[in-house]
Amino acid sequence: MKNMKKIFLFIVVLISVNSITTMGTTRVSSLNGYGDPYADDFLEESSSNCVNGNNAENAPDSIFAEIFYDYSNGELVLDMGLNEEILDDVGNDFNIIAGEGEYYVKVENSLSKPFTLVGLGAGNQSFDLNSTGFSSARYILIEYRSGEKVEIDAIEAIYYNIIESDDENPVILEIADFWIFENQSQINLLWEVSDLTPWNFSIYVNNTIVESGPWGGSNIEFNYLTQDLKLITVKLVVWDYFGNFAESDVAITIKVIELPTDDSSYLHIFFIISMISILAINKRTRR
């Protein structure tokens, strides 16, 4: 099945990619290319004076993110995705799908640097990276310019970076086995995971799948309510787009809290408490 998947992907690449390849990077027209020409993530912490920013993620659907003026121009920042950067090529390189309002468009490849202006837009409009000096751009900033609000539906790359092949397995930083007491009701796990072409993940508890879904390449967190078990084995399996996978197990031992069962143990504890009390009283008396 894994080989069949790779053959299928290879066929798709042969049919749909306009091959202008430089050092493993293929420039792809979004009209007939495979991959994802749309923004992957709305970066809320880098944005301001905007609402429903995640509406500008993914393909256009006529549901808008809104940017407005409130003592300063609002800004919406979107991430096209690692290895899915917009590329500079012949003519315009990306489209902004928008509703009402005028806006500035700026680009960067690092969130720690100031963004560079590409141009001014209104409604649906195309832009060219050539004037910026950027050969590629990962982050797109759309800034309010005028109108009651600026509506943004999507960013669509005309030329964008993809990876044609990947034969390396994802990397999972192992979590060491550990133990907890039985009165701890929840287990929290965080795996550090990375891959060039992340795809999906599954989590198993004692060989039963409990969670699965798409994986975008970020770390994976899992919270689990403990049950009446002595040992819990949690397995993470991650897959990339080309069928490579990695898995990691962590065993959690549940320890029973053992209380004293004989009278001598209680007497021992009582004796220690009594001695502490006597010493405290003597100390006060001497004062």
Structure confidence by residue, pLDDT tens digits, 15-64: 233 322 222 333 333 333 335 799 999 999 999 999 999 999 999 999 99
Closest to 48 (Cα-Cα) out of 144, 152, 154, 124: 144
Q: Are residue 45 and residue 150 in the same domain, yes or no?
A: yes
Q: Are residue 239 and residue 148 in the same domain, yes or no?
A: no
CATH of the domain at 179: 2.60.40.10
> Residue 184 has what pLDDT?
81
Structure confidence by residue, pLDDT tens digits, 136-169: 999 999 999 999 999 999 999 999 988 778 899 9
Structure confidence by residue, pLDDT tens digits, 112-122: 999 999 999 99
Structure confidence by residue, pLDDT tens digits, 214-245: 998 889 999 988 776 788 999 999 999 889 99
Q: Are residue 78 and residue 118 in the same domain, yes or no?
A: yes
Q: Where are the beta strands (DSSP E) in 135-261?
A: 136-137, 139-146, 150-157, 159-162, 171-173, 178-181, 186-194, 198-205, 208-214, 220-225, 231-240, 245-255
What is the domain extent for residue 107? 16-162
Dist. CA 64–CA 152, nearest whole Å: 5
Percent of the chain scored above 90 by pLDDT?
61
In a domain, 275, yes or no: no
Token pair 């502490």: residue:
276
Q: Are residue 71 and residue 129 in the same domain, yes or no?
A: yes
CA atoms within 13 A on the CB side of 121: 26
> Of 162, 185, 202, which residue is a domain's last?
162
Helices (H) and strands (E) in the chain, counts: 2, 23
Tokens of 129: 């990276």
Domain count, the chain: 2
Structure confidence by residue, pLDDT tens digits, 171-222: 999 999 999 888 887 889 999 999 988 889 999 999 999 999 999 888 999 9
CATH of the domain at 109: 2.60.120.260
Structure confidence by residue, pLDDT tens digits, 60-116: 999 999 999 999 999 999 999 888 899 999 999 999 999 999 999 999 999 999 999
In a domain, 260, yes or no: no
Q: How far apart are the first and last CA of the chain?
A: 84
> Residue 33 has what pLDDT?
30
Q: Are residue 40 and residue 83 in the same domain, yes or no?
A: yes
Tokens of 248: 């990691």
> Residue 45 has what pLDDT?
95
Q: Are residue 99 and residue 157 in the same domain, yes or no?
A: yes
